Structure 1
Amino acid sequence: MTSLSPIPQLGPHHVFRWEAAQHAHILLYPEGMVKLNPAAAEILLRCDGRRTVAQIIDDLDAAFPGNRAAIERDTQAFIVTAHDKGWLRL
């Protein structure tokens, strides 16, 4: 991803929620379910259709200070992957 200005949001057929039985956040979609690791859940939680990728990175850096470069790299990689899988729209 070369731009930090896209505004990611869940695809129309996806539901993101906490699943107590899984002890994790999950992403539900017509073909199944994905159990998310904590980092992916923190990113997806912020993909609300209002924040740019840059704002998501800023928010994560404020919540988890200490390694902005890793947060930026990992957030961009997750958003690209999630978009490629159809989980997110940009």
Structure 2
Amino acid sequence: MTDGVREEDRVRLAPGVMLRQDRVRGHWQLLGPERVLILDEVALEVVRAVTAQPPATVGTAITALAAQFDAPRDEIAADVLELLGDMIAKGFLTR
């Protein structure tokens, strides 16, 4: 499910959500009111890419991630759009 996320969208952290590193447990997480999402390395890179300053479009972030991971852009795009859709549906990100 992509929740309608398109490559021309700009995605940001939802109000009240913060990207934080848990230094004790050694992982990154999105902290929101009454919820936590533990990020693996790939999810962390996606969140960083789409929430970078200045704001990038999702498509620009996908292109950068495809180059960073030396992977086919269409495969990266499908995975990123699905991940972003899930994070939006869970209230961690917004457009």
TM-score, normalised by the number of residues in structure 1: 0.89
Query: 2:62 matched to which residue of 1?
Result: 57
Unaligned 5+ segments in structure 1 are: none
Q: What amino acid sits opposite 2:94 in the alignment? A: R
Residue of 77, 80, 84 corresponding to 2:82:
77
In percent, how many aligned pairs have the same letter? 24
Q: CA RMSD in A?
A: 1.5
Change in Cα spacing, 1:74 to 1:30, as seen in structure 2 (3 Å) is same
1:7-63 CA-to-partner distances (Å, cap 9, x unmatched) read 000001100122222211111111122211111111011222611110110110121
Within 2, Cα distance between the matches of 1:4 and 1:34?
23
Q: Which residue of 2 aligns with 1:66?
A: 71
Runs of 4+ in structure 1 off by over 4 angstroms are none
- Secondary structure at the counterpart of residue 50 of structure 2: coil
Aligned to 1:35: 38
What is the identity, as a one-letter code, of the residue corresponding to 1:33? V
Between 1 and 2, higher relative CO (CA 8 Å, sep ≥ 6) is seen in 2
Structure 2 runs not aligned, ≥5 long = none
Size of the aligned set, in residue pairs, is: 90
| TM-score, with structure 2 as normaliser | 0.85
Q: Distance in 1 between the 2:80 and 2:46 partners?
A: 7
